[in-house]
């Protein structure tokens, strides 16, 4: 039985969270309608898990695409590489793509699935904490452009999300900590009790306690599933999930994709959003301090790059997808566990915090 279900009518799908799922051949095959499979992964993940998963799919015709690792590889060139491989190997609409990797692999594979022959099935198999708690759930697929992150893509839901928490044992500490930024985000934007739970379970999280990690991931996935079910294509409340991302995406684009990990940029972005809220008299300074303290515990950056000034931020933020009618829109916390969308941020306040 799945751990969770994301309810979207005919596009609903299960989210499985447990140890040892990569060894469950029945689980994989139950979400593949036909015999042809193409696994998309990268040079870091492939040596760890690709052979094992292929062994569990012996009744299928399986091939693979192994992309270079890194955020800089989430681009149109690698999207075209996937398209060319599928065409050259005569994959049809009966093919299922499996996205085996972190957020980059999940995003680009999902976009390829949405685009190839106007849509084929895909399954998300996230192997990083960030992709497990955030990017694998909800159907946002995209590639980056030098002028903006995730600007070319589609809303396209997978057939299932399979989260084997054992994959976190091979994750570098920096990558794990980057994932914690997205975890903390859920507490700040809408769940005070979860934020407190994180404060009380820091030691177990850092120690990699499986029960604690499983509980944490499930909580994040449930939060995201509930929001996506009510607003699949970000017409309203789903925009709250972008807390920290308006500033964070600007940092990534300005610094060059991959120099700052996505979670690191989001961590700084959340601090800036909280400082913005304080400057607008929406958030108490004491709550900003708690946010900064929890982020700092996981060795995440609190300050924007020294090379980035006001003009650098604004140039990128003007391309943000949340903007309406030329107005910059920001997600700001009004308390730990509460957030809202604001489009009344003045240039003076932005200059003050940047």
Identify the active-site residue in 91, 185, 262, 316.
Answer: 262
Q: What is the pLDDT of residue 147?
A: 86
| Distance in angstroms (rounded) separating the CA atoms of residues 294 and 311 | 29
Do residues 303 and 274 make contact, with C-beta atoms less than 8 angstroms apart? Answer: no
Identify the active-site residue in 159, 219, 238, 316.
Answer: 238
Q: Is 262 a residue of the active site?
A: yes
Q: Is 145 a residue of the active site?
A: no
Residue 292 burial (C-beta neighbours within 10 Å; 0-12, 13-18, 19+)? middle
Q: Is 64 a residue of the active site?
A: no
Q: Is 249 a residue of the active site?
A: yes
Identify the active-site residue in 185, 224, 275, 342.
Answer: 224
Q: Is 292 a residue of the active site?
A: no
Identify the active-site residue in 71, 175, 218, 234.
Answer: 234
Identify the active-site residue in 90, 118, 306, 348.
Answer: 118
Q: What is the pLDDT of residue 1?
A: 58
Identify the active-site residue in 74, 242, 321, 342.
Answer: 242
Q: Is 234 a residue of the active site?
A: yes
Q: What is the pLDDT of residue 256?
A: 87
- Alpha-carbon distances of 256 from 72, 112, 121, rounded to whole Å: 8, 23, 32
Q: Is 329 a residue of the active site?
A: no
| Distance in angstroms (rounded) separating the CA atoms of residues 161 and 47 | 21
Q: What is the pLDDT of residue 186?
A: 98
Tokens matching residue 250? 């600007």
SS3 337: coil
In the chain, count of helices (H) and strands (E)?
14, 11
| Distance in angstroms (rounded) separating the CA atoms of residues 257 and 142 | 14
Q: Is 316 a residue of the active site?
A: no
SS3 92: coil
| Distance in angstroms (rounded) separating the CA atoms of residues 55 and 32 | 15
Per residue in 39-76, pLDDT (tens digit) is: 999 999 999 999 999 999 988 999 999 999 999 999 99
Half-sphere exposure of 101 (CA within 13 A, CB side): 30
Tokens matching residue 57? 């799919």
User: Residues 226-232: contacts with CB within 8 Å, 24+ apart?
Assistant: 228/6, 228/8, 228/137, 228/138, 228/139, 229/6, 229/7, 229/8, 232/8, 232/138, 232/139, 232/155
Q: What is the pLDDT of residue 327?
A: 84
Q: Is 35 a residue of the active site?
A: no
What does the DSSP assignment read for 204-247?
HHHHT-HHHHHHHHHHHHHHHHHHHHH-TT-SSGGGGGGTTHHH
CB neighbours of residue 95 within 10 Å: 24
Q: What is the pLDDT of residue 235?
A: 83
Identify the active-site residue in 74, 140, 149, 159.
Answer: 140
Reading the chain (354 residues) residue by residue, the pLDDT tens digits are 568 999 999 999 999 999 999 999 999 999 998 899 999 999 999 999 999 999 999 889 999 999 999 999 999 999 999 999 999 999 999 999 999 999 999 999 999 999 999 999 999 999 999 999 999 999 999 999 988 889 999 999 999 999 999 999 999 999 999 999 999 999 999 999 999 999 999 999 999 999 999 999 999 999 999 999 999 998 889 999 999 999 999 999 899 888 999 999 999 999 999 999 999 999 999 999 999 999 999 999 999 999 898 999 999 988 877 777 778 899 999 999 999 999 999 889 999 998
Identify the active-site residue in 71, 73, 175, 182.
Answer: 182
Domains of the chain: 4-170 (3.40.50.1970), 173-353 (1.20.1090.10)
Half-sphere exposure of 340 (CA within 13 A, CB side): 10
Q: Is 200 a residue of the active site?
A: no
Residue 301 burial (C-beta neighbours within 10 Å; 0-12, 13-18, 19+)? middle
């Amino acid at each position: 039985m799945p751990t969770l279900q994301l309810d979207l009518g005919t596009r609903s799908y299960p989210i499985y969270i447990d140890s040892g799922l990569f060894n469950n051949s029945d689980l994989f095959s139950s979400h593949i309608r036909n015999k042809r499979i193409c696994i998309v992964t990268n040079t870091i993940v492939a040596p760890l898990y690709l052979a094992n998963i292929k062994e569990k799919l012996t009744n299928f015709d399986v091939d693979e695409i192994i992309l270079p690792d890194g955020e800089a590889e989430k681009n149109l060139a690698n999207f075209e590489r996937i398209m060319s491989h599928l065409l050259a190997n005569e994959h049809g609409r009966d093919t299922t793509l499996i996205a085996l990797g972190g957020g980059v692999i999940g995003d680009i594979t999902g976009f390829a699935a949405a685009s190839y022959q106007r849509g084929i099935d895909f399954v998300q198999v996230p192997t990083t904490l960030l992709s497990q708690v955030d990017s694998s759930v909800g159907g946002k697929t995209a590639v980056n452009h030098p002028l903006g992150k995730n600007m070319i893509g589609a809303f396209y839901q997978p057939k299932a999300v399979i989260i084997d928490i054992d994959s976190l044992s091979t994750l570098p500490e920096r990558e794990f900590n980057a994932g914690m930024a997205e975890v903390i985000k859920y507490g700040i934007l809408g769940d005070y009790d979860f934020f407190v739970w994180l404060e009380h379970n820091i030691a177990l999280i850092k120690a990699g306690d499986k029960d604690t990690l499983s509980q944490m991931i499930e909580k994040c996935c449930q939060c995201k599933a509930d929001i996506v079910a009510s607003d699949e294509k970000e017409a309203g409340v789903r925009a709250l999930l972008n807390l920290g991302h308006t500033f964070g995406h600007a940092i990534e684009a300005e610094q060059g994709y991959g120099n700052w990990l996505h979670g690191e940029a989001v961590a700084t972005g959340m601090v800036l959003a909280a400082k913005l809220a304080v400057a607008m008299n929406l958030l108490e300074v004491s709550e900003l301090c708690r946010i900064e303290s929890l982020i700092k515990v996981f060795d995440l950056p609190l300050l924007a790059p020294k090379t980035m000034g006001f003009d650098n931020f604004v140039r990128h933020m003007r391309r943000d997808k949340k903007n309406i009618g030329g107005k910059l829109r920001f997600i700001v916390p009004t308390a730990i566990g509460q957030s809202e969308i604001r489009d009344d941020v003045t240039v003076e306040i932005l200059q003050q915090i940047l």
